[in-house]
Amino acid sequence: MMLKILGELALVGAIASVFIVAAQGRAAERAAEEASGRDYMRSLDEMTSKALNRKTIASWNYESNITDYNEQIQTQVFLEVAEEQKEYWKETMTYLWREFEDEDLKRMFKKYSQLGTAALPEDLNQRLIQAVNNMQATYAKATICDYKDRSKCDLHVEPDVTNIFAESQDAEELKYTWVEWHKAAGAPSRGNFTEYVQMNNEAAKLNGYDTAAEWWLSEYEQEDSEEQFVALWRQLRPLYRQIHAYVRRHLRLQYGDSVVPARGPIPAHLLGNIWAQTWGGVEKFTRPYPDKPDVDVTAALISQNYTALKMFKTAEEFFTSLNLSGMPDLFWERSIIEKPTDGRDMVCHASAWDFFDSEDFRIKQCTTITKNFFLTTHHEMGHIQYYLQYKDQPVIYRAGANPGFHEAVGDVMSLSVSTPKHLRVMGLLEDGPDDLESNINQLYKMGLDKIVFLPFAYALDLFRYGVFRGATPPPHYTCHWWQLRAALQGVQPADTRSEQDFDPAAKYHVAADVEYMRYYISYIIQFQFHRSLCQLAGEYSPGDASNLLSNCDIYKSTAAGNALGKMLQLGSSKPWPDAMEMLTGQRKMDASGVLEYFQPLHDWLKAENERTGEYIGWEPSTVQFCTEEQLSLMEGSEFKKTLDKLNA
Ligand code: X8Z
Ligand code: ZN
């Protein structure tokens, strides 16, 4: 008996060791595969760096000088690089990377397993490139005639249309300019946009997504991103409705009841910006306390002989004061910081470029000497700062923790730069009272930039999600676009619209295929970042009423700069909640930063709107943008469900 047991035990032992040996063999195989994956990843990343460098050079050459030749070269380079990437991708997919132990290596493989638009067959990729180039060129070249001098027909969006909207208070001139700009820049791109949507959706499918909407959303790495976006909007809406009602009342006083209906959406041409995305242009005649000294930074910049270069150097100094990086020599050599005067066509919309060689970083911007461009310069330099901080990461990680993070860096600087405290340090603002009324004026000014932007940004990409998903087909573009803008922003078009128009493409990011939810996210998380940086700088402690968040200036705080730099260095190597937690201790996007910042203004607006009896919210638009037929088709549709969710 004993012998039998011993014999059985020996047998079990023998079988076990066979298993162990086999398992050890597999583990060794896996380790070898993982090691080879690691080597492969190094060469893939090097190839990608060269490929992205080639593409970026070709794009820069085209966008800074729009000619047929430069377009042809750009298309050719894009197609060649796509073929190269396709070949690499096939090899990438032979690795069993999902079984790798090294989480970081897995993350890189996962990112590389998405081929992007290179997944398209060459002919479709070419159609996609062509459609975007056509829209981009239409936008960049669009010109309109002057309202007063109709023989002067070379007005571009930058600086001409922008200036008219910032300065004119002639409702007829504004309406005319609004209509003409949308005619010149929007309508001609309708067909190209439809083509772009089809090709982009094809690419999305080849990358494993239902539509390009899910593809764009994947950048936020969360299952429930869309629910988060709508929840954030519900938190912000009460504040928005107060500032909306307040501004509408003042516009009514300025332009009369017949131009601005008492309970209606605000006509979009009266808000000081061609897209009604920020409303700083109406600040001068809507200020809460008009008798308090005006804070006119544009006038100070001009009188102090600021140039584009001086604005850039000033912005750079803010970053270096935080112990962050200065701009490298190549940046100063190769950036374009003013509109060229040689008559060439160029994409003027400000942008910051990473050439993926860890050396070449540039900004392209048609700077004029205004407060807005002073802040935009900080915004763009924030992108370059991010590039510089993560330049030693593998190429696949040289991106923001999510797209909103990238947009937030420079804006965080601007939040400090815009404070009266900082402007005084800079000599851009004279000494003035530091009382409650001046403070409300200041917060109001910020609100016209920050609060009112949120529903604009949100509407823009809800529109494109709907188009990508087929809920908004081409015959309903205009109707749905204005339904969304009316629902979210409470604005209405300057004049009747029809499906002959295509107003979304009169906005740069639609014409240029730039995802826009990033700005919605940025305008929320930048206040979370600002709050944390201000605490690190010893400039703010929550609950201390004598130290408002809106008065904090992090200038010269190396504690703040070092903390921000650490987060930026991660690039996209970790999921964004990890990056956010490093700086803020929070793992969620959260509107409480915005709400805390604007609390005194919110209270003031509520009291003021109550005092004047202003209606809060808005009734349906009186300007027509949908036909009866379109409205009846909308009942019970997917699009209607989106609208209902927003209004809930
Ligand atoms: O496009 C920009 C930047 C370049 S990333 C100038 N912004 C958005 C816009 O102009 O619509 C910055 C704020 C919103
Ligand atoms: Zn940006």
Condensed to tens digits (0 to 9), the pLDDT of residues 60-86 reads 999 999 999 999 999 999 999 999 999
Report the pLDDT value the prediction gives residue 319, as an integer from 0 to 100: 98
Report the pLDDT value the prediction gives residue 544, as an integer from 0 to 100: 84
Q: Taking residues 340-365, what's their average pLDDT?
A: 97
User: Positive or negative CA dihedral for 199, 204, 208, 211?
Assistant: negative
Report the pLDDT value the prediction gives residue 537, as an integer from 0 to 100: 98
Q: Is the per-residue pLDDT at 314 higher than 70?
A: yes
Condensed to tens digits (0 to 9), the pLDDT of residues 538-581 reads 999 988 888 899 999 999 999 999 999 999 999 999 999 999 99
Rounded CA separation 347/249 (Å): 37
C-alpha distances in angstroms, 349 versus 162, 259, 514? 12, 31, 12
Report the pLDDT value the prediction gives residue 634, as an integer from 0 to 100: 97
Condensed to tens digits (0 to 9), the pLDDT of residues 158-213 reads 999 999 999 999 999 999 999 999 999 999 999 999 999 999 999 999 999 999 99
User: Positive or negative CA dihedral for 199, 202, 207, 212?
Assistant: positive
> Which residue's C-alpha comes closest to atom 6 of ligand 1?
350
Check 244, 422, 480, 509 and give the catalytic one.
509
> Which residue's C-alpha comes closest to atom 3 of ligand 1?
350
* Contact present, 355 and 366 (Cβ < 8 Å): no
Ligand 1 mutation pick, 376, 383, 515, max ligand atoms within 8 A of CB: 376
Report the pLDDT value the prediction gives residue 28, as an integer from 0 to 100: 86
Residue 537's SS3 state is coil
Assign 603 a pLDDT band (cuts: 50, 70, 90): very high
CATH code for the structural domain at 209-647:
1.10.1370
* Secondary structure string (H, E, C) spanning 100-123: CCCHHHHHHHHHHCCCHHHHCCHH
Check 71, 158, 380, 614 and give the catalytic one.
380
Q: Is the per-residue pLDDT at 21 higher than 80?
A: no
Report the pLDDT value the prediction gives residue 27, as an integer from 0 to 100: 83
Rounded CA separation 558/324 (Å): 8
Q: Is the per-residue pLDDT at 5 higher than 90?
A: no
> Which residue's C-alpha comes closest to atom 14 of ligand 1?
519
C-alpha distances in angstroms, 312 versus 326, 351, 360, 370, 394? 11, 14, 17, 13, 29
Report the pLDDT value the prediction gives residue 8, as an integer from 0 to 100: 63
Ligand 1 atom index nearest CA of 350: 6
For residue 282, the 8-state DSSP code is G
* DSSP assignments along 138-197, one per residue: HHHH--B--SS-TT---B-IIIIIHHHHHH---HHHHHHHHHHHIIIIIGGGHHHHHHHH
Residues with a beta carbon under 5 angstroms from ion ligand 2:
407
Rounded CA separation 547/419 (Å): 13
Average pLDDT taken over every residue of the chain: 96
Note if 509 is an active site residue.
yes
Ligand 1 atom index nearest CA of 351: 4
Report the pLDDT value the prediction gives residue 17, as an integer from 0 to 100: 67
Report the pLDDT value the prediction gives residue 138, as an integer from 0 to 100: 98
How far does the centroid of ligand 2 lie from the alpha carbon of residue 254, in Å?
33
How far does the centroid of ligand 2 lie from the alpha carbon of residue 383, in Å?
7
- Spell out which residues line ligand 1, taking CB within 6 angstroms: 277, 350-351, 376, 379, 519
How far does the centroid of ligand 1 lie from the alpha carbon of residue 449, in Å?
12
Report the pLDDT value the prediction gives residue 566, as an integer from 0 to 100: 98
Ligand 1 atom index nearest CA of 365: 6
How far does the centroid of ligand 1 lie from the alpha carbon of residue 376, in Å?
8
Q: Which residues contact 49 (CB under 8 A, 6 or more apart)?
A: 356, 357, 395
- Beta-strand (E) ranges in 252-339? 266-267
Q: Residue 354: beta bridge partners?
A: 361
Q: Residue 336: beta bridge partners?
A: 364
Q: Is the per-residue pLDDT at 10 higher than 70?
A: no
How far does the centroid of ligand 1 lie from the alpha carbon of residue 37, in Å?
39
Q: Is the per-residue pLDDT at 513 higher than 70?
A: yes
Q: Is the per-residue pLDDT at 630 higher than 90?
A: yes
How far does the centroid of ligand 1 lie from the alpha carbon of residue 403, in Å?
13
290 CB burial (10 A radius; 0-12, 13-18, 19+): exposed
Ligand 1 mutation pick, 136, 379, 454, 456, max ligand atoms within 8 A of CB: 379
Q: Where along the chain do its domains lie?
A: 28-113, 209-647
Q: Is the per-residue pLDDT at 443 higher than 90?
A: yes
Q: Enumerate helices (H) and strands (E) in the chain, giving the number of each.
A: 25, 4
